[in-house]
Amino acid sequence: MSLSAHNNALHVPVLLQPIIDLLTPALQDEAVLIDCTLGMGGHSEAFLTAFPKLKVVGIDRDAQAISLASERLSQFGERFTAVHTTYDDVDQVAAQFGHDGQVDAILMDLGVSSLQLDETDRGFSYSHDAPLDMRMDTSRGETAAQLLAELSHAELTRVLRVYGEEKFASPIAREIIRQREMQPIERTGQLADLVRETIPAPARRKGGNPSKRTFQALRIAVNNELAVLEAAVPRAIEAIRVGGRLAIESYQSLEDRIVKDALNTGLVSTSPPGLPIELDDHAPYLKSLTRGAQKADRHEQEQNPRSASVRLRAVERLRPTPSHISQPYRRQGSAS
């Protein structure tokens, strides 16, 4: 194993045992699990080890993650397959590798991976000076530096406010425009300094690094993360068989809101109010396996700081999706 793969293999996946426990009832016999966010393969390795007959398909848009995780998981032979794509293609992956177009379980561990945070030259971290890239797939798309060079004040303000929930979005955007007229903003250190100097001193004393929200916003914008997630969750629901299970870990409120809304579509009855009985075609077709969003306990948060903000939601599929339920992200010909 390469040095990078070895170092990243040491990262312990968040809420690993609870996720294994939640998905276990769906993973009998020669089951198929899709790990939608392969990263360094920590979750995939744990499942392949725990279930000797399990087949895992790992999705990642990051070619470096695909390479290193495949190296790490080579010991499992044909039981592991990697697919280089975005995880909103989960339905197509299920159609290719599942049984009759569906799989037994799906896992999503959202946000930026350990690999991307720890490889300083990728530009995801405000703690190390590096080129402002932030692309999860470095073979395509615009970098964060290019976005900063092109977006208007109004567009920058919207990105920072919506994706970063940054209350100082407008002054930060104004300072970005002012400074880029003098020289391009092309490094993480430049941007971190700019944000720190723009945010009022009292606001800098709480809430961690003042650049955190700006870097989050740019990463989401560069990788179109929320649009991918909005499409991925409904497709994941359709890609699991009856009795199959879906678990999703979110790390910030925008992600968790999208996940919660998508799952709620299948968790609530659509029968008209006031009826004495539940209409068969209007009963919930999902069952929640967590009470709200499950969080990491204090011990895990102390051992793994990245677990502090996690929100885990999991569901079981009770029956096929009723025909009257709108599915805007469903592809033509996908399994029901």
Measured CA to CA, the distance from residue 171 to residue 166 in angstroms comes to 10
Measured CA to CA, the distance from residue 309 to residue 294 in angstroms comes to 11
| CA separation, residue 84 to residues 69, 89, 90, 252, 327 (Å) | 12, 10, 11, 25, 25
Measured CA to CA, the distance from residue 138 to residue 40 in angstroms comes to 17
Give, rounded to a whole angstrom, the gap between the first and last alpha carbons of the chain: 41
Q: Residue 39 annotated as binding?
A: no
Q: Residue 294 annotated as binding?
A: no
Helices (H) and strands (E) in the chain, counts: 15, 7
Q: Residue 116 annotated as binding?
A: yes
Q: Residue 251 annotated as binding?
A: no
266 Cβ neighbours under 8 A, 6+ residues apart: 237, 284, 285, 286, 315, 317, 321, 325
Q: Residue 292 annotated as binding?
A: no
Calculate Rg over the CA atoms of the chain.
21
Nearest partner of 97 among 126, 135, 55, 136, judged by Cα: 55
Q: Residue 243 annotated as binding?
A: no
Q: Residue 207 annotated as binding?
A: no
Residues flagged as binding site:
41-43, 60, 87, 109, 116
Residues flagged as binding site for S-adenosyl-L-methionine:
41-43, 60, 87, 109, 116
